[in-house]
Structure 1
């Protein structure tokens, strides 16, 4: 059973792209970026102060690592977390910590340890003034078949985290589609998580029989989102569209023409090596050089994905990973995303009825938009009141992404 009608979602897809930015601004889309905290990140160093908080609604710090006893190893994250929070919160950008990551062991914990892990995550979020917790559980003992026991472990962890975390802080879960890994993600995760992040990449790779193609090609992603068949383990067969965020990779895969390993190139490397170095059109998306055929995320493909998100009531996108973008103006993928999914302004103080009195030039928020008072003093007259439209100027949609500003 779909959690949101497949037909309704596809009907929305027929909307023209002319109103894209209008639709996006009305819905205040999420544009989230993971920020890795280990040494020598792919793509090179990216200083905290250079994080584009004018474009990002959330920064997700990767990672905190769970130990078998439920304690947390936050050594890497601790080096950056407070500086990120200070920089982000100053420009209405939320900050979350992600626990886990690929290859990280969750299964060694028993129920008591998982409960302790939740307590430690809640304490860490409160200590560092975070806006939520992201769970990146990719640790399974079986694949390509249901594993209700381990699926239940993750579900219970997310449920307990939602119960113990303050309600103004968010809980998110990173999931995969399809029958290989996706089958292990419980269909009820969105009953407890505020956001389900669809890791819409790695559809191709270094395993035998993998196609030689872009690992986040649209034909794979579209099916992973809206394949109507229950066996597909697509997002729409399991989770509410309004909670499903689409993952965008800033890394790419290159396949050998003869012998050799599959290589990973960041968007920055694609630009420097192929676009600038070889004069290849960035939108070409594939190019042979030496022993390798390279595939990459193009600006046009990004627009296809952001169009789909905007036109089908998805909350937004997330990026893996911010270090990997080009540093050159004109080639930054984040700039393209932000143009298609512009960040909303923060909400002013909410309009209040009489006895509150407002003066000319005051700004208030009302029903998800900011409004400026044109003629004061004004009291008891809300924006959009019949016959009083001239008293307000609409300033656009607004959203507070910092939890402490949303109370």
Structure 2
């Protein structure tokens, strides 16, 4: 048995052992407080939250004043939503809720000033405990974007550690004195190596944070002059220099390399895409000349589209392409180009998380999935989150786990050949009838070794094997090309 096959079976055994022990991968979902102001059908309030969708639910965002006192965001002043948010735990007592402080729009300067002042830090710590306990939160999520950057100071790197240390000491003491479960302390952290190196003393932070939420998205967008994917699993051949690290796989591996245990690494998954306007409709691939794309009709931000806006737009036409190197799809309709994730690509990413035994997945954001089931390609509400979650925490619903990719998922792809294949607009049941009257499971695609059929309750799901691998009928898994006898022509050859 070769080393790749050994690693495959070890990974499967570890995953099975984890599930058998009753432990769960974390499914950490952010709820944005501004989503309730979107026009219908994008309006999302606490009433739209599925209490059983996630293991951890984070309210974004709270803020703090010039003295470090935590306060509700201005969007929450008129009607504080914290009570309604935490009432979801009445239906699911196992759900953990956290309050996120900060965010991109809040900036870095206020954090820098607060963290550099012992009095303001104490105010921040004290008010965090009172607000979290008063409103029945289970913890705090720090969204400082980012220490040292965006007007911050060099001392931020040390001060962020100090802030986390003082918070953890206070939370531990409060739990000891009250007899309550200690409040959780987490942080949303960047994907850029430059930001990580500049602002994060990772080994020290690891002493005080319960887990790290990796913001592994926004790798490319309208700020670039060419098309690029929002959240590629692996690097594109067009990525060079620092951009070669702008992908989910590399970022997760790097956070582990610099000091975070795998079980504390929560890998970020996006339920939205970044849109571009192509300079020419005749050049529509990855790295094509482009500028910022259109806004979604509900999310109303240039170059940004929720999944429900993307899949709804697909109903008007266009083509979906799947990039076998990056392992993600993109959508082209006229001069509009969108790099996004669908059910298939999120299952692939979830398998990477399981294979490498990271702590779980983080979702930005629940209000951007097809929560209203407005798309004809969706078979249920929250299709993206559920597809990925079922890979990590199977509950007996749909067995949506793709075959595990052999070998170390943090290694670089074994081929640099760019392959683009046209697939259905979104992963879901096809009309081929292949799985009719077949037992649930994985089956070879007679037309191509590069994909396979996943049959469940008579429904047919066509899925591509990751780049460099082919479907092996003898093991019902995707294995390295050299190990598989294939009798069909290979498109990517």
Instruction: Tell me the alpha carbon deviations over residues 133-153 of structure 1, each in whole angstroms, 9 at most, x when there is no partner.
Output: 11111144547xx97511112
Q: Match of 1:168, SS?
A: coil
Partners of 2:17 and 2:233 in 1: CA distance? 22
Partners of 1:254 and 1:156 in 2: CA distance? 39
8 Å contact from structure 1 (residues 54, 343) kept in 2: no
Q: Which runs of structure 2 are paired with 1:7-406 in the superposition (5 Å)?
A: 14-15=8-9, 22=16, 25-26=19-20, 27-38=23-34, 39-41=36-38, 44-75=42-73, 76-77=75-76, 79-91=80-92, 92-104=94-106, 105-109=110-114, 110-142=117-149, 149-165=155-171, 166=175, 168-183=182-197, 184-187=199-202, 188-208=204-224, 212-219=227-234, 220-227=247-254, 234-258=255-279, 260-262=291-293, 263-274=303-314, 276-278=315-317, 280=319, 285-326=329-370, 327-328=372-373, 329-330=378-379, 332-342=383-393
TM-score calculated relative to the size of structure 2? 0.60
| Cα root mean square deviation, aligned | 2.9
Q: Match of 2:156, SS?
A: helix
Partners of 2:18 and 2:276 in 1: CA distance? 36
Q: Match of 2:8, SS?
A: coil
Partners of 1:44 and 1:272 in 2: CA distance? 12
Partners of 1:208 and 1:45 in 2: CA distance? 30
State the partner residue of 2:428.
Answer: none
Q: CA deviation at 1:180?
A: 2.8
Q: Match of 2:111, SS?
A: coil
Partners of 1:342 and 1:89 in 2: CA distance? 22
Distance 1:268 1:16, change over 3 A: farther
Partners of 1:12 and 1:102 in 2: CA distance? 43
Q: CA deviation at 1:343?
A: 7.2
Partners of 1:158 and 1:12 in 2: CA distance? 40
Q: CA deviation at 1:271?
A: 0.9
Partners of 1:336 and 1:289 in 2: CA distance? 25
Distance 1:170 1:41, change over 3 A: farther
Partners of 1:290 and 1:86 in 2: CA distance? 45
Q: Match of 2:112, SS?
A: coil
Partners of 1:249 and 1:28 in 2: CA distance? 21
Partners of 1:178 and 1:287 in 2: CA distance? 25
8 Å contact from structure 2 (residues 30, 57) kept in 1: yes
Distance 1:23 1:157, change over 3 A: same
Q: Give the structure, 1 or 2, with the largest relative contact order (CA under 8 Å, sep 6 or more).
A: 1
Distance 1:344 1:158, change over 3 A: farther
8 Å contact from structure 2 (residues 100, 141) kept in 1: yes
Partners of 1:343 and 1:189 in 2: CA distance? 32
8 Å contact from structure 2 (residues 221, 229) kept in 1: no
Structure 2, unaligned runs of 5 or more: 176-180, 235-246, 280-289, 294-302, 323-327, 397-493
Q: CA deviation at 1:256?
A: 1.9
Partners of 2:51 and 2:33 in 1: CA distance? 18
Instruction: Tell me the alpha carbon deviations over residues 298-354 of structure 1, each in whole angstroms, 9 at most, x when there is no partner.
Output: 222211211121222222111111110013242620220232122789xxxxxxxxx
TM-score calculated relative to the size of structure 1? 0.72
Q: CA deviation at 1:225?
A: 1.3
Partners of 1:34 and 1:214 in 2: CA distance? 21
Distance 1:295 1:94, change over 3 A: same
Distance 1:252 1:206, change over 3 A: same
Instruction: Tell me the alpha carbon deviations over residues 115-150 of structure 1, each in whole angstroms, 9 at most, x when there is no partner.
Output: 21111111111111111111111144547xx97511
Q: Match of 2:220, SS?
A: coil
Instruction: Tell me the alpha carbon deviations over residues 35-93 of structure 1, each in whole angstroms, 9 at most, x when there is no partner.
Output: 01125259822232331222211110011112221122214456321122122243121
Partners of 2:14 and 2:148 in 1: CA distance? 43
Distance 1:31 1:41, change over 3 A: farther
Distance 1:84 1:24, change over 3 A: farther
